[in-house]
Amino acid sequence: MGDGIILNCKKCGYQKDFIFGIGFMYGDLMDVIETIPKKHREEIYPIVKNYDVHPLFEQKVFKCNKCNGLYNKLWVKIDYDGNKTYETKYKCYKCKIDLEEIDFDLDNEKNQDFKFPDLICPKCGFKYLDQPMIILWD
Ligand SMILES: [Zn+2]
Ligand SMILES: [Zn+2]
């Protein structure tokens, strides 16, 4: 089971949910690999085929620092061949720049000084999106 959040904007009504972590369908990377873009799949297949690897993978949320776009992506990291590492790098489809991972740190959410990261609405630019609602998914 994974965690998730629903972000919404008070001003324009933008609402979107994002999931993190891994669900029960995520036994093996190959079960969920179809959910990532072809370009990345083509980089991953040969590594998984040629090396005995234990890929790390989970759903993560990324943002574009230029247009404030928010993305939910399957992140994959594979150590292989002794000292090589493959890690998915995602770009904003609009701005073509690298996306930055957002760490919501839900485990610390109950701490008093815990603060959700400030996010700008990708639709209208309003600062900031509402304190998100936390959801669970499977
Ligand atoms: Zn962008
Ligand atoms: Zn908005």
Amino acid occupying residue 67: C
- Does residue 4 carry a pLDDT above 70? yes
C-beta separation of 5 from 132 below 8 A: yes
- Does residue 104 carry a pLDDT above 70? yes
Of 63, 119, 72, the closest CA to residue 94 belongs to: 63
pTM above 0.75, yes or no: yes
Alpha carbon distance 22, 52 (integer Å): 22
How many angstroms separate the alpha carbon of residue 95 from the centre of ligand 2?
A: 19
- Does residue 25 carry a pLDDT above 70? no
Using one digit for the tens of pLDDT, what is the confidence trace for 46-95?
Answer: 999 999 999 999 999 999 999 999 999 999 999 999 999 999 999 999 99
Task: Parse the chain into domains and list their residue ranges.
Answer: 2-137
Confidence class of residue 97 from pLDDT cuts 50, 70 and 90?
very high
Q: What does the pLDDT read at residue 101? A: 93
- Could you list which residues have their CB under 5 Å from ion ligand 1? 64, 66-67, 69, 92, 94-95
